[in-house]
Every structure is written in structure tokens, then in C-alpha cells.
Amino acid sequence: MPVLVASDLDRTLIYSAAALALTMPDARAPRLLCVEVHESRPLSFMTETSAALLGALGDAAVFVPTTTRTRKQYQRINLPGPEPRYAICANGGHLLVDGVSDPDWHAGVTARLAARCAPLAEVTDHLLATADPAWVRKQRVAEDLFAYLVVERELLPEEWVGELAAWADGRGWSVSLQGRKIYAVPKPLTKSAAMREIAERTGAHRTLSAGDSLLDADLLAATDRAWRPAHGELAEAEWTAPGVTALPERGVLAGERILREFLTAAREPARTDTRTG
């Protein structure tokens, strides 16, 4: 019976140049490996130590990349180690099996969203009507499931995000601010639901996870053990839950620590209790 490891990617295991600038240690900077290139530009990195740990983890557990990225954005990433059999994209909207979205899973997700929350068009219209073009750089709809804005953080009014979150909450949506992106995501669209599905398919007896944003909170709360770095929305909110460990490390060094914790836990003697069922 395997151990399942579901981990967020951006600002948890991999880091953009902008994220590195915020969290890179000044002394003894670690050697980096580029894991994503787009339009001939290197976009995302992890340390060489993290790459080796991830390779070992792929042999010790069922590693499931778990991301809010679209399928196209996820497929740009070239992670070290064995190719994952499963991946979770679009915050749980797509469950990939050998790189292909499971159509039954996606159909079930879209049906739940239609039944439980306001339509995507209503949310995108509100974003366009209330956001100021002075600080909005891009507005995107992801996989016809959720929306996000790319903004200039230094110009973004703090109260606007709070007002958006309050408006969205009454319509069954949640809001997350991650770096330069503001996400509006339906509440039933969760990483934890997709993780539970994969745990059932693989017969996992233990589940582990990590993440840094509010969109990861449901995942961390749903697994037997979880870790969050000292940066990101969860750290800023001092969020915790049973089984969740708040790490002292920030940035790429937090990524290394998370992978060490995953590997140690995956190699522990088998236990039969799990919170995924």
C-alpha cells in the first residue's frame, strides 16, 4: 500500500525569478536547476538538492504534482525524477492520468460547480467592473473554471482584495492573492477532492501534502501530515490545522526542507490510518 504525496508547486517546490528575489538567502546561495522554460525564457527553478530529493521521492511514494496552473501551464514544467502517473491541475478541475485529463472526473467537477456557486461569467464581469486598469496588467479565465488577474502589487489597494473576497464569499467563491496574481475560485473546486480520488485509486494508506497559499489549505487539512513554508498566504495568516507543521524556512530552502520531510515520512513503517477516507 503506497504513500501518496500531493504537493503544490509554485512557491512551494519551484520558484520564479520574482519569488527567488524575495526569498533567496544572501549567503551561500544554493545552486539552481531550471525546471520551466517559456518563450525561450527560463521561468521556474528549484535547487539541485531539491531535484535530487524529488528524484528519490518518486521512487519511495506516489508523487502527485498539485497545482492551480492550467494543464498547458503545468505541462511546461520538467520536474526531475520519474514521470508522475497522476497530476492535479486547475485547482482540482482536471485530474491527469498519464498526462491526459480524466473526462469523468472533469464532468463531475463542472456539474458540482454549476449546482453550488455563482456562474463564472458573473464573477469575471465583477472583476472587470471593479478592478482599476491602472494596476491590472492581465485578466484571464483558466480552463473555463476560474478567473485571475495579474496586477502591479505596489499599486493594488489592500482594501480592494478584502472587498472582493467578501463579495465572492456570498456567491460560493473564494479569493487568493499570490504574488502578482489575484485568483477567484469556486469553493467546490478543491485540490483535496482530487487528492482523495487519487488516494482511493492507488490504495494509499498514508497521505502527505505541502503548500503555501489559501488555495492549499483544504489540501493540507485533508492529509495525514502536511507542511507549509514560512512565506505565503498561510504563513501571513498564521494558519494551521491538525497534522500541519509550520516550517521556519522560506523560499527555495523551504522547498528543500519540505522534500526532506516528505522523504522521511514516506520511508516510515506503514500505518493503516488515513484522513482521506
- Count other Cβ atoms within 10 Å, centred on residue 121: 10
81: which residues sit within 8 A by CB, 6+ positions away?
Answer: 51, 54, 55, 56, 57, 58, 59, 63
| pLDDT for the residue 135 | 96
Q: Which residues pair with 14 in a beta bridge?
A: 10
Please indicate, yes or no, whether residues 239 and 253 belong to a single structural domain of this protein.
Answer: yes
Residue ending a domain, choose from 156, 186, 216 = 186
Q: Could you give the number of structural domains in the chain? A: 2
| pLDDT for the residue 255 | 95
Q: What value does the mean pLDDT take over residues 153-180?
A: 94
* pLDDT of residue 27 exceeding 80: no
pTM, two decimals, is 0.92
| pLDDT for the residue 40 | 93
pLDDT confidence bin for 274, thresholds 50/70/90: low
Please indicate, yes or no, whether residues 205 and 99 belong to a single structural domain of this protein.
Answer: yes
pLDDT confidence bin for 275, thresholds 50/70/90: low
pLDDT confidence bin for 23, thresholds 50/70/90: low
Q: What value does the mean pLDDT take over residues 28-53?
A: 93
Return the higher-pLDDT residue of 269 and 134: 134
Please indicate, yes or no, whether residues 149 and 230 belong to a single structural domain of this protein.
Answer: no
